[in-house]
Amino acid sequence: MKSVDAHLADILATVRPLAPLELEVEQALGATLAEEVSSPVPLPPFDNSAMDGYAVRAADISEVPVTLPVIDDVAAGSEELRAVGPGHAVRIMTGAPVPAGADAVVPVEWTDGGTVSVRIDRPVQAGNAIRRAGEDVQAGDVVLKAGTLIGAAQLGIIAGVGRRRVLARPRPRVVVISTGAELVEPGGQLAPGQIWDSNSFTLTAAVREAGAEGFRAGSVGDDPAVLLDKLDTHLVLADAIITSGGVSMGAYEPVKEALSPLGTVRFEKVAMQPGMPQGFGVLGDDQVPIFALPGNPVSSFVSFRLFVRPALDKMRGLPGGMPETVTAYVTGPLRSPAGRRSYLRGVLASDGTVSPVHGQGSHQLAALASANALIVVSEDVTEVAGGTEVEVIRL
Ligand code: AMP
Ligand code: MG
């Protein structure tokens, strides 16, 4: 059997970062910057008021209370400004440019709020409540490095330096297909022997949680020809494909039957539980990676976490690899098959303990849904006593 690490290494050696595209800012959330972003201007671009209040010369209000004439009113966006002469005040709003002559802003709360003249009750230091030009960014400064993942705040600074488009690796488009003649769309009636398709929903959601775009292409029964047809339809728009089911040792294994003859997809046994049967390879002229995951719901979920997610990270131009683990004390005994790495479902608590959930079968999706962690038991360990320190992957 192939080790989990060797299988992941093969996958990561095959998948490539997606080519960068000029993305509209609106489309860039979750993309990875492929250029350095710098600011053409200082930010803020001009000295402006940090508060609603009065622009004054600080020396004029050293003795308070003092009443000054209000010679102008400046809102944010004002262009024409009258200079503040000695003994003058200008009513000013947050974000408005500070007029020439003024060296401080007095918050409105420290005044009587007058519009013709204003009584100021507290003195301020020169520079008070003024946001200086270039305080955040100097003209030409790099605000984001290449390789940065674009989240909301990063998107904000891209727009904040005036950019409409940005060169970035887009989120991979991932098509999810489930196989199985027993599958029925949720919402439909179950005939004897049927179950509702859950994997295509789980995997599409997992793709989205991983920062990629998931397209659920539904389920195709157990006919290899129908699967090939479906793959053909979706290959054009896919950066990666995930299938579930049809990869094990029985008869009616449509994924194995359809893809084995192509010679570009390998089906192997990986030394893990759950999720031993795994297929991986590439399809079509564009060498689109395909992950043929096992059908049991917990198996396909764990396989996604271990193999697909790091591959998607690499496609996005992010550092990928084995999921990070934390250590915790297990609250009860664990069993694991010799020679296979186990990923047992557990609940990680804030006190640093992890409790295995009831129901560790690879079909027990409800048990998975009650867990928030996978407890890793290495290949050479078959029994773990309660109270032992274990490695845990947070979900
Ligand atoms: P397979 O890998 O196709 O042999 O399927 C293994 C087990 O997983 C069987 O019990 C299937 O019924 C179940 N299974 C396969 N695909 C799905 C799916 N999309 N949703 C829920 N269960 C599935
Ligand atoms: Mg099947």
Residue 44, preceding peptide bond in cis (omega within 30° of 0):
yes
Cα(259) to centroid of ligand 2, in Å? 15
DSSP letters spanning 164-182 = SEEEEEPPPEEEEEE-BTT
Smallest-distance ligand from the CA of 247: 1
Smallest-distance ligand from the CA of 222: 2
pLDDT for 387: 97
Cα(217) to centroid of ligand 1, in Å? 16
Q: Which of 181, 184, 188, 187 is nearest to 196 (CA)?
A: 184
CA angle in degrees (0–180, nearest 5) for 203-208-165: 150
Ligand 1 proximity of 148 Cβ (cutoff 6 Å): no
Ligand 1 proximity of 180 Cβ (cutoff 6 Å): yes
Ligand 1 proximity of 183 Cβ (cutoff 6 Å): yes
Who contacts 26 (Cβ-Cβ below 8 Å, separation ≥6)?
A: none
243 and 293 in contact (C-beta within 8 Å)? yes
- Please name the residue whose Cα sits nearest to atom 17 of ligand 1: 295
pLDDT for 375: 98
pLDDT for 321: 86
Cα(231) to centroid of ligand 2, in Å? 17
pLDDT for 302: 98
Tokens of 277: 């049967």
Ligand 1 proximity of 194 Cβ (cutoff 6 Å): no
Per-residue pLDDT of the chain (395 residues), as tens digits, is: 999 999 999 999 999 999 999 999 999 999 999 999 999 999 999 999 999 999 999 999 999 999 999 999 999 999 989 999 999 999 999 999 999 999 999 999 999 999 999 999 999 999 999 999 999 999 999 999 999 999 999 999 999 999 999 999 999 999 999 999 999 999 999 999 999 999 999 999 999 999 999 999 989 999 999 999 999 999 999 999 999 999 998 889 999 999 999 999 999 999 999 999 999 999 999 999 999 999 999 999 999 999 999 999 999 999 988 899 999 999 999 999 999 999 999 999 999 999 999 999 999 999 999 999 999 999 999 999 999 999 999 99
Q: Containing H/E element for 344? A: strand 341-348
Choose which residue among 200, 244, 253 to substitute to test ligand 1 binding: the one with the highest number of ligand atoms within 8 A of its C-beta.
244
Smallest-distance ligand from the CA of 194: 1
Smallest-distance ligand from the CA of 184: 1
Cα(297) to centroid of ligand 1, in Å? 7
Cα(212) to centroid of ligand 2, in Å? 26
Ligand 1 proximity of 149 Cβ (cutoff 6 Å): no
